[in-house]
Structure 1
Amino acid sequence: MATHLIVTLAVAAGLATQAKAASYDCTKSRLATEKTICANRGLNDRDVKMATTFNIISHAVPMGGRDHLIDEQVIWLKQRNGCGNNVACIANAYQNRQKQLDQMLQDRVFSHGPF
């Protein structure tokens, strides 16, 4: 229960600072996927949540783990961008990645912290 509260608070803190925009500058979007995310509030919210979770994990894992995490994220971004402007595909990509990141947060961060 305490773990879920901490995750919720951490994500909420990140969302509060980024509530109006995706995790990237929408005015500089070039890819169809990025433009679709910027135009769709639900996808935009998923993007911000996923990016916030990713940032929390990347600051909490050791250096070697961080490099691996970044490599995985680059691979995921390529897969997500393959969705083009297909909203369902993009939403599914975010759902799957968020599940992976939530599990990493539980396994690699909370299980080793003083929570």
Structure 2
Amino acid sequence: MRHFLTTTGITGLLFGAALMAAPSTASAASFDCDSGKLAADEKVICDTRSLNDADVKMVTTFDILTSLLAMGNRGKLQEEQSVWLKKRQACGEDVECIRGAYAERLKQLDEAYKGLSRPL
């Protein structure tokens, strides 16, 4: 039997669920927007709805993918996430740079999902 959930389908489903579960106050999924200690990129993400939504989608996809991976691959995915986070932080207040960083990371996570071993 072929796997009928495409990557777009799974991330879309996850994103929809995350948005429905998200609190009504301004809060990104991976950090607290009400914190007084936000980095420049985090401030922009909190102030830009599309970037906030991208953060919710990315962290939800990352968390679910992490739970599906074997222990050794989890560490690799977490290391990649740390590298990506530094890249996003280097964007500072540049909205397009941050938007591109999220697009790149979501593509990487989608590829990781496609590469998962599935039972026949």
Please list every run of at least 4 consecutive aligned residues from structure 1 whose deviation after the TM superposition is greater than 6 angstroms: none
TM-score relative to the length of structure 1:
0.87
1:84-112 CA distances to partner (integer Å, 9 max, x unpaired)?
0000000000001100001111212xx41
Query: Bigger shift: 89-98 or 5-14?
Result: 5-14
What is the letter of the counterpart of residue 106 of structure 1?
K
1:94-113 aligned within 5 A: 94-108=102-116, 111-113=117-119
Query: Bigger shift: 80-89 or 2-11?
Result: 2-11
The offset of 1:13, in angstroms, is 1.6
Identity %: 42
Aligned partner of 1:51 among 59, 64, 82: 59
Q: CA RMSD in A?
A: 1.8
Structure 1 residues 8 and 55, CA gap change in structure 2 (3 angstroms): same
Aligned partner of 1:13 among 17, 27, 43: 17
- Structure 1 gaps of 5+ residues are none
Aligned length: 112
Within the alignment, does 1:25 sit opposite 2:32 as a pair? yes
Structure number with higher helix proportion: 1
Structure 1 residues 6 and 89, CA gap change in structure 2 (3 angstroms): closer
SS in 2 for 1:27: coil
Partner Cα distance (2:83, 2:51) in 1:
19
TM-score relative to the length of structure 2:
0.84
